């Protein structure tokens, strides 16, 4: 079984800065980490490999320094790392990113064997769009299982997978054929602590590095800024609220007393609300 995991190197959100003119994230001088949501998918891929055999390839698109995150993924136990880097990819939005990653995954399939499962994080902490995973699935014509909370079973011979997917109002149990793309929810597992052998292997491993031509990308108008229709008008930090929290009730109050105090406070702040509710009740 060949499993591909798409990860992203992102700025540490605790130290993120936004350029005041271009409205883009300033990455220079900011510590970077593997997107936390991607780690849940990586761990699930490693568990699938351990249970059913095969290999895990991690893939990322970014500047040369993104190789640090790929090497970190190797220390967790991934078998191979591929870096897609080219100056033409600069400024890519989710549409251009999914286009480039889809081409790289197709190339990985040609060189290392067709992937049976592609994993991606639910979203990234620097964009929060949750669009790249589904975008890859659409371009590669793959069935997609998003917001997966649990891999229930994998039947290698039948080439079927059953998952539990979190949805509004409950959990869906879905079965589909391989290959497919899966995005994992946060909190579904915990990334393992890599072994010493994995750490030593990662330190001397060669990161496979491809540019656009190596990945088989011919139409450069679909890459980078030229292939990105998204326009960021403004990025700003929300204004801090001046209103302070108000303590309602007293410690030790019974739940009914707290509820009465809360309702009384609401009606005091919104005097028109009580007669409106009474009128609606009488009309009903």
Q: Are residues 21 and 67 in the same domain?
A: yes
Q: 142 in a domain, yes or no?
A: yes
Q: 223 in a domain, yes or no?
A: yes
What was the pLDDT predicted at 17?
65
Q: 14 in a domain, yes or no?
A: yes
What was the pLDDT predicted at 247?
81
What was the pLDDT predicted at 255?
87
What is 185-215 written as a DSSP string? PTTS--PPPPPHHHHHHHHHPPPEEE-TTTT
Q: Are residues 81 and 121 in the same domain?
A: yes
What was the pLDDT predicted at 73?
96
Q: Are residues 277 and 253 in the same domain?
A: yes
Q: 234 in a domain, yes or no?
A: no
Q: H or E segment at 172?
A: strand 170-177
Q: Are residues 30 and 164 in the same domain?
A: yes
Radius of gyration of the chain (CA): 24
Q: Which domain holds residue 269?
A: 242-284
What was the pLDDT predicted at 280?
85
Q: Write the burial class of residue 106 (CB in 10 Å: 0-12 exposed, 13-18 middle, 19+ buried).
A: middle
Q: 232 in a domain, yes or no?
A: no
Q: Which of 45-59, 62-76, 89-103, 265-279 has the lowest mean pLDDT?
A: 265-279
Q: Give the pLDDT band (50/70/90) at residue 269.
A: confident
The rounded mean pLDDT for the chain is 89
Q: Which of 14-18, 200-204, 256-260 has the lowest mean pLDDT?
A: 14-18
Q: Are residues 184 and 254 in the same domain?
A: no
The rounded distance, in Å, linking the Cα atoms of 105 and 5 is 10
What was the pLDDT predicted at 48?
96
Q: Are residues 156 and 50 in the same domain?
A: yes
Q: 237 in a domain, yes or no?
A: no
Q: Are residues 278 and 253 in the same domain?
A: yes
Q: Where residue 59 sits, what CATH number does that domain have?
A: 3.40.50.620
Q: Are residues 38 and 173 in the same domain?
A: yes
Q: Which of 42-51, 139-148, 219-228 has the lowest mean pLDDT?
A: 219-228
Q: Are residues 26 and 113 in the same domain?
A: yes
What was the pLDDT predicted at 137?
96
Q: 35 in a domain, yes or no?
A: yes
Number of domain units in the chain? 2
The share of the chain scoring above pLDDT 70, in percent, equals 93
Q: Give the pLDDT band (50/70/90) at residue 16.
A: low
Q: Are residues 10 and 127 in the same domain?
A: yes
Q: Where are the alpha helices (DSSP H) in the chain?
A: 36-52, 67-76, 94-112, 132-140, 196-204, 255-269, 273-283
Q: 236 in a domain, yes or no?
A: no
Q: Are residues 29 and 89 in the same domain?
A: yes
What was the pLDDT predicted at 196?
93
Q: Give the pLDDT band (50/70/90) at residue 78.
A: very high
Residue 107 has pLDDT above 80, yes or no: yes
Q: Are residues 182 and 275 in the same domain?
A: no
| Residue 56 phi, psi (nearest 5) | -115, 125
Residue 178 has pLDDT above 70, yes or no: yes
165 three-class SS: strand
Q: What is the pTM of this model?
A: 0.78
């Amino acid at each position: 079984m060949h499993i591909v995991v798409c990860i992203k190197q992102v700025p540490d959100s605790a130290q993120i800065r936004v350029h005041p003119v271009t409205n883009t994230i300033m990455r220079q001088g900011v510590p970077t980490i593997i997107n936390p949501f991607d780690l849940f998918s990586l761990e699930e891929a490693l568990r699938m490999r351990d249970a059913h055999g095969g290999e895990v390839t991690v893939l990322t698109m970014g500047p040369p320094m993104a190789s640090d995150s790929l090497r970190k993924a190797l220390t967790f136990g991934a078998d191979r790392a591929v870096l897609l880097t080219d100056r033409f990819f600069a400024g890519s939005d989710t549409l251009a990113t999914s286009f480039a990653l889809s081409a790289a995954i197709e190339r990985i399939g040609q060189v290392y064997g067709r992937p049976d499962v592609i994993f991606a994080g639910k979203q990234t902490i620097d964009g929060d769009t949750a669009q790249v995973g589904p975008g890859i699935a659409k371009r590669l014509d793959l069935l997609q299982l998003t917001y997966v909370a649990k891999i229930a079973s994998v039947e290698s011979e039948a080439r079927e997978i059953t998952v539990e997917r979190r949805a509004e109002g409950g959990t869906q149990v879905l079965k589909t054929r391989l290959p497919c793309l899966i995005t994992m929810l946060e909190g579904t597992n915990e990334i393992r602590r890599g072994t010493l052998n994995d750490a030593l292997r990662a330190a001397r491993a060669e990161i496979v590095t491809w540019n656009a031509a190596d990945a088989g990308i011919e139409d450069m108008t679909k890459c980078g800024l030229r292939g990105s229709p998204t326009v960021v008008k403004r990025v700003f930090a929300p204004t801090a609220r001046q209103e302070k929290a108000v303590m309602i009730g007293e410690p030790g109050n019974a739940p009914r007393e707290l509820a009465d105090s809360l309702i009384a406070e609401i009606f005091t702040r919104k005097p028109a609300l009580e007669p409106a509710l009474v009128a609606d009740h009488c009309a009903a």
